[in-house]
Homo-oligomer: A and B are copies of this chain.
Amino acid sequence: MTLLANDRAARREALLDAADRIVARDGPAATMVTIAAEAGITKPILYRHFGDKGGLYAALAERYTSALLARLQAALEAGTDRRDRVRRTVDAYLAAIEGEPQVYRFLVLSDEAAAASAQVRTFTRRLSALLADGMAAELGAGPVRAAAWGHGVVGMVQAAGDWWLDTPTVPREELVGELTDLLFGAYGAA
């Protein structure tokens, strides 16, 4: 109808766009029929494209997290010194979740998001591994230390971000500053 030569990949993107819109609108109450309706089609087509609900959510999460991961990776390589890089990366993360809070909430702490959750975990793990590699290379940390720190740092920023999304009582830069301070030993030094 709308377009003639839509190949599968483009269609898939369009479906994901619809899902995105519905998730942003309905939050956890999003349902397969609703998404299908939003896309102007019916349920079974969604299932042909994504297998099951898990597949759809996983694809959605993959799109979101891969974009975010790219941005974070760029930030990690952009700074002048180590502290500046950390700062930019933390800021990039917080800016991302600030920009699309509904999708973020849905992916990270939704009820239905068990499927997406797997994807998010993959993202977390990839990001943590990224950091771990960086730390190992940069400061010669052993693998255990690097892995523990990588996951820990990611969790730290994530948790602080969750809290901040819930109660945004402070501008982003300030939170970024506090977290950077924490990472760079301000707690131990106090």
Contact = CB atoms under 8 A, between A and B. Distances in A.
A78 interface: no
Interface in A152-177: 152-160, 162-164, 169-170, 174-175
Count of chain copies: 2
B111 A114 contact: yes
Given A184-B187, A189-B185, A154 B149 contact: no
B151 A155 contact: no
A151 B144 contact: no
Interface string A133-156: 001000101001101110111111
A117 interface: yes
Nearest to A181: B145
A113 B147 CA distance: 28
B147 A151 contact: no
Contacts of A65: none
A101 interface: no
Contacts of A186: 185
A39 interface: no
A175 B144 CA distance: 8
A124 interface: yes
Contacts of A183: 187-188
A105 B109 CA distance: 14
A23 to B, nearest CB: 15
Interface of A: 28, 83, 109-115, 117, 121, 124-125, 128, 135, 139, 141, 144-145, 147-149, 151-160, 162-164, 169-170, 174-175, 178-179, 181-190
> Which are the 7 A-B pairs with shortest beta-carbon distances?
A155-B159, A185-B185, A111-B114, A184-B188, A185-B188, A156-B156, A139-B190
